[in-house]
Amino acid sequence: MSSVFVSSPYVAPVNSLQRLMIQVIIALLPGTLTYAWLFGPGVLINIALACVFALMFEAAVLKLRDKPVMVHLTDLSAIVAAWLFALCLPMHSPWWLVLVGIGFTMIAGKHVYGGLGFNPFNPAMVGYVVLLISFPREMTTWYLPASVSGATLSFSEALAYSFGGVDIQQWDALSSATPLDQVKTGIGQQIAISDIRLSPVFGQFAGKGWEWISFAWLIGGLWLLLTRTIRWHIPVALLLGVVSMATVFYLLDMESYASPLFHLLSGAVIIGAFFIATDPVTAATTDRGRLVYGLMIGCLIYVIRVWGGYPDGVAFAVLLANMCVPFIDYYTQPRVYGEK
């Protein structure tokens, strides 16, 4: 009778990839919606484009690799990678920028290594860094929140922008360097932080608008913790790394180094801590290893921001830490039951 020989356990699985990915997508909603509310609908167009392109690339490569297409498309991992990638882009980006970036994310970041589970580097960060290095002008054209500029692009305007239907010059007045960039440039010109912060782009704690998006990412991050989609080790260690580095230098010289709170709430630190560094495939896997990994990224973010060539350093920090993961994992193995 029993024609199949299966080994135990014979209990229904309690988790699935799809369920994990859905939790991540849910957790991304507060931040994404806050982003769109403060900076206009451009970000939603980026996400939509990235998702469509990602699914296309994923399907094509799976087909080429002779893998079941629908099984992998419905695990939603491509959607999550695309979503995170799209959030890294300036809020108004031409369609081809999204296409090139997501192409690198899905192919060079993921499938050349064997697909989901085998990639050593965070795919979204791979795609983002390729764009950052290759298209510096497009990748540094950021826009002001409505509360500063008084207007954002409407949905149709943003769409027209994405597909090159309008002249870029038209909205030049709305574009501006990001607060992180302004601090970096200002310090480079020996301007005191207190003077830099007089610029209208700064808000309560960090960049106007940006700080609230960071709070929204934090809410999403807490949701991930609450649903046990991620564990606390990486985000806590990462934030600790940023804060401790920032505190030390802030206390040394408050006019040349921005406050820990500014660093925490600017740029991609919060989303990086909860959504990017926690990508399970590319992160360390042991509890102690995750602390090391998070701390490493946190410190690197600060180092790159303050002394590196880029205003923000999350992507580079994550990729550098990804390289160290096998090493970290090997040397942080837990003590096995019964071992001395």
Part of the chain binding other proteins (CB under 8 A), chosen from 33-41, 71-79, 173-181, 200-208:
71-79
Cβ–Cβ under 8 Å, residues 258 and 313: no
Q: Does 16 bind other proteins (CB under 8 A)?
A: yes
By CB under 8 A, residue 66 contacts other proteins = no
Using CB under 8 A, which residues numbered 105 to 164 contact other proteins?
114-118
- Residue 231 touches other proteins, criterion: CB under 8 A: yes
Length, in residues, of the chain: 340
Least separation, in Å, of the C-beta of 85 and other proteins?
18
Interaction between residue 327 and other proteins (CB under 8 A): no
288 touches other proteins by CB under 8 A: no
Q: Contact between 4 and other proteins (CB under 8 A)?
A: yes
Applying CB under 8 A, which part among 141-149, 216-224, 280-288, 305-313 lies near other proteins?
Answer: 280-288
3-state class (DSSP) for residue 207:
strand
**Residue 176 DSSP label:** E
Minimum Å distance from CB 288 to other proteins?
11
Q: Is 117 left (phi over 0), alpha (psi -120 to 50) or beta?
A: left
CA atoms of 80 and 214, how far apart (whole Å) = 19
CB 286 within 8 A of CB 234: no
286 touches other proteins by CB under 8 A: yes
Please count the CA atoms within 13 angstroms of the CA of 256 that sit on its side-chain side. 10
Our finding on whether 338 is near other proteins (CB under 8 A) is yes
Q: Do 300 and 310 contact (CB within 8 A), yes or no?
A: no
Residue 115: strand pairing partners: none
**333 scored as a contact of other proteins (CB under 8 A):** yes
**Binding-site residue total for other proteins (CB under 8 A)?**
44
- CB 232, min distance to other proteins, A: 12
List the Cα angle 53/213/263 in 5-degree steps: 110
Q: Does 70 bind other proteins (CB under 8 A)?
A: no
281, 119 in Cβ contact below 8 A?
Answer: yes
64 lines the binding site for other proteins (CB under 8 A): no
Residue selected from 165, 280, 323, 327 as contacting other proteins according to rule CB under 8 A: 280
Tokens 């920090």 belong to 317
Three-state secondary structure call for residue 167: coil
- Which of 66, 70, 307, 339 lies at the binding interface for other proteins (CB under 8 A)? 339
3-class SS at 286?
coil
Q: Which residues bind other proteins (CB under 8 A)?
A: 1-17, 19-20, 68, 71, 75, 77, 114-118, 231, 280-281, 283, 285-287, 329, 333-340
